[in-house]
Amino acid sequence: MEQLIKKVEQWFVDRNLHSLDGVGQLEKLQEEVEELILAYNEDDRAEEIDAVGDILVVLIGYCMQRDLDIMDCLNSAYEEIKDRKGKVIDGVFVKEADL
């Protein structure tokens, strides 16, 4: 995973995108999430795979532009949820504090 992240980061560097402010990546992220929703709704597995991959690329680029480490972000999120209690309502996990 780390090697692939480095390749994506290099892609951003090669195109001189690494030092931008991140706004463009946020707009791109919204577009890619909309494509994922469409692929899900159409049950198009190939497009789902493409959209998830694109989302990951956008997030890596955003983190690079904002001087964030994507693995640190993921680890932080996991540490926050790892012991979380709650229940599933309509297919969505709702944390105990929000019940």
pLDDT band at 31 (very low <50, low <70, confident <90, very high): very high
Dihedral (CA of 72, 76, 77, 83) sign: positive
CB neighbour list of residue 63: distance below 8 Å, 6 or more residues apart: 69, 70, 73
Torsion, Cα of 54, 36, 34, 28 (10° steps): 0
Give the span between the Cα atoms of 81 and 1, in whole angstroms. Answer: 22
| Chain mean pLDDT for the chain | 96
What is 2-98's CATH number? 1.10.287
pLDDT band at 4 (very low <50, low <70, confident <90, very high): very high
